[in-house]
């Protein structure tokens, strides 16, 4: 087990499945103690924790809906209680709903912006209170949708473009406190959510693959190692960056 993150404590939001679960497991494999946050899937989060502890790592599961301020405060209180500090935050929790313009409603808008943007900002706000004098690393999970201009994704793509803008702004704001902030923009990744939405077997998937230079959609394991890199001392002079992990799709 490499110990690139030995002694570090990481909070990963939305980590009960998909990309978040892979990120949590890779951070733990690199030596970090990991808080596996989940909103509703307790069983999923406990499965991730069990996999980490079986591999010799340290992890706990903490329920919190990161669109709610009081839940966010409790998430970091539980983290502090278990591991005494926070060094790494991965803002992975998010939702996506596609809708053509005529179906966009205030509810559709606020549901996504409240979690994908406001939730990310409030989670970051609380996390930095717990970072020590040596700073820390924040990795935001955005999406290729931030810049791809996908039809039906005016709201979702808008949330992810906002994440990129916030990343760059926060990198400058938090740099003097030695807190680095970077964003990862994945392409389509095969997750439980993609299967549940019926996208995994769809013509849309085939279309995406045909437009992707590397000819396939991603797997959670394609994303997680880059998070470990950005969280680690290897990336100590990298902040405000947006890394596309999309097989060349833009």
Residues with a catalytic annotation lie at 156
State the Cα–Cα distance between residues 163 and 24, nearest whole angstrom.
21
To the nearest 10°, report the CA torsion of 43, 23, 109, 62.
40
Phi, psi of 184 (to 5 degrees): -115, 130
For residue 58, the SS3 value is strand
**Residue 147: is it exposed, middle or buried by C-beta count within 10 angstroms (0-12/13-18/19+)?**
middle
Where is 36: in which H helix or E strand? strand 33-38
The token duo for 157 is 């793509």
């Amino acid at each position: 087990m490499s110990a690139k993150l030995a002694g570090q404590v990481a909070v990963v939001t939305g980590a009960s499945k998909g990309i978040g679960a892979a990120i949590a497991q890779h951070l733990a494999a690199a030596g970090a103690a990991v808080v596996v946050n989940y909103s509703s899937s307790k069983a999923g989060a406990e499965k991730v924790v069990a996999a980490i502890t079986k591999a010799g790592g340290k992890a706990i599961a903490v329920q919190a809906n990161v669109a709610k301020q009081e839940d966010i405060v409790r998430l970091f209180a539980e983290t502090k209680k278990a591991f005494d500090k926070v060094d790494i935050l991965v803002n992975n929790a998010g939702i996506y709903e596609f809708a053509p313009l005529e179906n966009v409603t205030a509810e559709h808008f606020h549901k996504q912006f409240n979690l994908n943007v406001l939730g990310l900002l409030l989670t970051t706000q609380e996390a930095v209170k717990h970072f020590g004098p040596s700073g820390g690393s924040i990795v935001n999970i955005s999406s290729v949708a931030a810049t791809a201009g996908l039809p039906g994704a005016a709201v979702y793509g808008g949330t992810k473009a906002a994440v990129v803008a916030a990343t760059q702004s926060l990198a400058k704001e938090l740099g003097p406190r030695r807190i680095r902030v970077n964003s990862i923009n994945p392409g389509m990744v095969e997750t439980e959510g993609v299967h549940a939405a019926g996208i995994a077997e769809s013509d849309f998937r085939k279309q995406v693959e045909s437009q992707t230079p590397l000819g396939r959609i991603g797997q959670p394991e394609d994303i997680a190692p880059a998070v470990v890199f950005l969280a680690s001392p290897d990336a100590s002079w990298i902040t405000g960056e947006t890394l596309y992990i999309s097989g060349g799709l833009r």
